Structure formats: structure tokens, C-alpha cells
Amino acid sequence: MARTLWRRPGRMVPSLLRSLFRHPATTRYPFVKWVMPADFRARPVVHTENCIGCKMCVRNCPSGAIEIEPVGEKRFEARIDLGRCVYCGRCAEVCPKKTIELTKDFELAALDRKTLKVVYDAPPPPAAAANPEAGPERDAGG
């Protein structure tokens, strides 16, 4: 140890001086957007128009964050609690119709847990606009 006492004191000074003229390592974050790489796993989005209601995502979710509710014939509404979601992407992996997609939108902070519960509405009834009599009611009658 004694030999280190007189050798090169202030070993870090050149590096410190160099840092004075470097760009800062930090960014002005909220003002300069930070973009995550393409395959980043963040906010899950459900494209409900392809959903077949098999509930594979519900069964496989490690944290029980997904709910799939039927709202009509072959129409399903998806609810994801982003506060419970662990962003593992397992739901997107097991979905047979590739309905769920993990986007790279990572800015999900909220002041209220309730706002983290996201509802993806079911698609409109397929023939509702063209033929008002088509839909669940007709099936119930017939």
C-alpha cells in the first residue's frame, strides 16, 4: 500500500477536466423525448376486432391484469389494468390471433390507480349499420 501513497495522486484529474468539455450524459428528458428501441415491451394494446374470446391471455397472465368480457355475439371487450401488468409480453405470445400487441409507449405514470385501468371497447356489431335487425336480438328471437 505504501507504494501507492506517493504515486500519481489525483489520478482522476485528467478525466475530470475532460468531462468539463463533454456533452452531459443526461438528456433534457421531458422536453426531449426518449425513444425506446423497436421491440420494447411497454403498454399493451388489444385489437379487439380480431379477438375470438379464447381467454388464453387471461389464463397465462402472471399477474391477472387482463379481463375479456363478451359484449355481444363474437364481440369482446378487453380490460387491462396497467397497474398490475408486468409487461412480460406473455399475452401477446400466447394469443392465437395476435390480437395483443406491446407498444413502446412507456410513459405510463399516473397519479390515480383507477386511470391505469384501460378498456379496449369491442368492435361495433358487424352488420349493425347495414341491417338493423341483424345482431344478438335476432338470435334470441329465432
Residues that bind another protein (CB under 8 A): 1, 4-5, 7-9, 11-12, 15-16, 25, 36-37, 39-41, 60-63, 86-90, 93, 102
Shortest distance, position 95 Cβ to another protein, whole Å = 14
Least distance in angstroms from the C-beta of 11 to another protein: 4
Task: Provide, rounded to whole angstroms, the least separation between the CB of residue 24 and another protein.
Answer: 10
Judged by beta carbon, residue 39 or residue 133, the one nearer another protein is 39
Give the separation between CA 91 and CA 65, rounded to whole angstroms: 10
Toward another protein, which CB reaches closer, 56 or 122? Answer: 56
Q: What are phi and psi of 54, to 5 degrees?
A: -80, -15
Alpha-carbon distance of 121 to 129, in angstroms, equals: 17
Which CB sits closer to another protein, 35 or 111?
35
Q: 80 or 122, CB closer to another protein? A: 80
Please state the length of the chain: 142
**Residue 44, class by beta-carbon neighbours within 10 Å (0-12 exposed, 13-18 middle, 19+ buried)?**
buried
d(CA 101, CA 45): 5
CA-nearest of 84, 103, 83 to 41 is 103
User: Least distance in Å: CB of 64 to another protein?
Assistant: 9
